Amino acid sequence: MSICSLTKVPKLCLVYFGVDKSTCIVPTKKLRTKDTGELFTDIMPERRAAVTLRNDGKLLGAMVIALDGKWPISLLNAEFLFLFLLVARV
């Protein structure tokens, strides 16, 4: 395994917005860490990481569900499974 593949930051992330309970695929370069506000340029965000995203001048809080190239299952199944587990908890 090359060093380049170890340090490669995925281009897309599937994130969950708790405000309106929706998911969206966003470019990783638009995400920032919630604590420090750093961009994900050199480090890869982890699953379940709290992140922020600026959209139309608003700062939105989100959670990373999955990363590009690191899908545990297909995208549609991941969204369905997450929403099912979320509803089942309520």
| pLDDT recorded at residue 63 | 93
pLDDT in tens, the chain (90 residues): 455 554 566 788 889 998 888 999 898 888 999 888 888 877 788 888 899 998 888 889 999 998 876 555 455 556 666 666 666 554
Long-range (24+ apart) CB contacts under 8 A made by 56-60 are 60/17, 60/19
pTM of the model: 0.65
**Which position has the token pair 């569900």?**
65
| pLDDT recorded at residue 90 | 45
Nearest residue to 41 via CA among 49, 33, 5: 33
**Domain spans of the chain?**
3-89
